[in-house]
Chain A
Amino acid sequence: LYYQDAIDKYFERP
């Protein structure tokens, strides 16, 4: 089983 990861965890919040 696979699921799609969230993009915002890869980039930094200012």
Chain B
Amino acid sequence: MFEARLIQGGLLKKLLESVKELVTDANFDCSESGIALQAMDNSHVALVSLLLRSEGFDPYRCDRGFSLGVNLNSLNKILKCAGNDDIITLRADDNSADSLSLSFENPNNDRIGEYELKLMDIDQEHLSIPETDYDATIIMPSAEFQRICRDLTVVSESVTIDVSKDTIKFTAEGELGSGNIKLKSTSSIDKPEESVNIELGQDVSLQFSLKYLMNFTKGTPLSEQVILCLSEKMPLLVEYKMDIGYIRYYLAPKIGD
């Protein structure tokens, strides 16, 4: 038996919005510790990894390991039927784990919607992601990162991210011209969520596809801050932390032909 009741049901709605563009089908791996999902996009350029810890649910029950194969587009359609303030409960039985039950309770508990989502067998390989000491770690407002990606898309399909002592610079060059945005590290005691924090081991310069970064910024509503981790010749990590877990996006760097 698997049962997970999420008081902040709106979080699940936002989470689905943040992965559905990148991944079509994925397994939700449910265990005692929580719900995890790892999937690559169709072109195997990006990887999404998300975790919702069991402590974030009330109650959470998972007797044994479950792998629930879900078409994310279908799940997203059903989750659109839940109100933003609804409590969402997910359930799957031992015997008939061929469907996932979802119930949506409104805050007054006088309207309850119940839905069943058919599950599917998904043969997905699970990659192990090693702990990495990154050359540069940047914590910045997520809305600012989204704006930079959106603005530079006007100029080019790719962006070069340069990190040096106290500056992160995003540069795009295209047929119509070029553009760059520099952010200096700042600290705001009153509003720490608005500051730009740069931790640097050594200077980094890497180029990435803006199309994928734009997709990653679908995670913006999940957190006021985004964490960017970069190392030379390594995938970029873009992370949005939530109270009950995280969503991490990995993107392989563009490399010279």
Q: Are A2 and B207 touching (Cβ within 8 A)?
A: yes
Provide the bound-state CA to CA distance between A13 and B44, in Å. Answer: 14
Q: Are A11 and B127 touching (Cβ within 8 A)?
A: yes
Q: Are A5 and B129 touching (Cβ within 8 A)?
A: no
Given A1-B257, A2-B158, A2-B207: A7 in contact with B234 (beta carbons within 8 A) = no
Q: Are A2 and B251 touching (Cβ within 8 A)?
A: no
Q: Are B125 and A6 touching (Cβ within 8 A)?
A: no
Interface flag for B91 (CB, 8 Å): no
Interface flag for B45 (CB, 8 Å): yes
Q: Are B45 and A6 touching (Cβ within 8 A)?
A: yes
Q: Are A5 and B125 touching (Cβ within 8 A)?
A: no
Closest to A11 in B: B127
Main secondary structure of the interface of A (DSSP, over half): loop
- How many chain A residues touch the partner (CB < 8 A)? 14
The residue from B47, B126, B252 contacting A5, defined by CB atoms under 8 A apart:
B252
Provide the bound-state CA to CA distance between A11 and B153, in Å. Answer: 28
Interface flag for B256 (CB, 8 Å): yes
Chain A residues within 8 Å of B252, by CB: 4-7, 9-10
Chain B residues within 8 Å of A13, by CB: 125, 127-128
Q: Are B209 and A4 touching (Cβ within 8 A)?
A: yes
Q: Are B257 and A11 touching (Cβ within 8 A)?
A: no
Provide the bound-state CA to CA distance between A5 and B255, in Å. Answer: 7
Chain A residues within 8 Å of B127, by CB: 8, 11-14
Chain B residues within 8 Å of A6, by CB: 44-45, 252
Q: Are B255 and A14 touching (Cβ within 8 A)?
A: no
Given A4-B45, A4-B252, A5-B252: A10 in contact with B257 (beta carbons within 8 A) = no
Q: Are B128 and A11 touching (Cβ within 8 A)?
A: yes
Q: Are B128 and A2 touching (Cβ within 8 A)?
A: no
Closest to A12 in B: B128
Chain A residues within 8 Å of B45, by CB: 4-7
Provide the bound-state CA to CA distance between A12 and B130, in Å. Answer: 8
Chain B contact residues, CB within 8 Å of chain A? 40, 43-47, 125-130, 158, 207, 209, 234-235, 250-257
Chain A contact residues, CB within 8 Å of chain B? 1-14
A-B contacts, 10 of them at CB < 8 A, read A2-B257, A3-B254, A4-B252, A5-B45, A5-B253, A7-B44, A7-B45, A7-B251, A11-B128, A13-B125
Known contacts A5-B45, A7-B40, then 10 further A-B pairs from the complex at CB < 8 Å, ordered by chain A residue: A2-B207, A2-B256, A3-B257, A5-B254, A7-B45, A7-B251, A8-B40, A8-B44, A14-B126, A14-B127
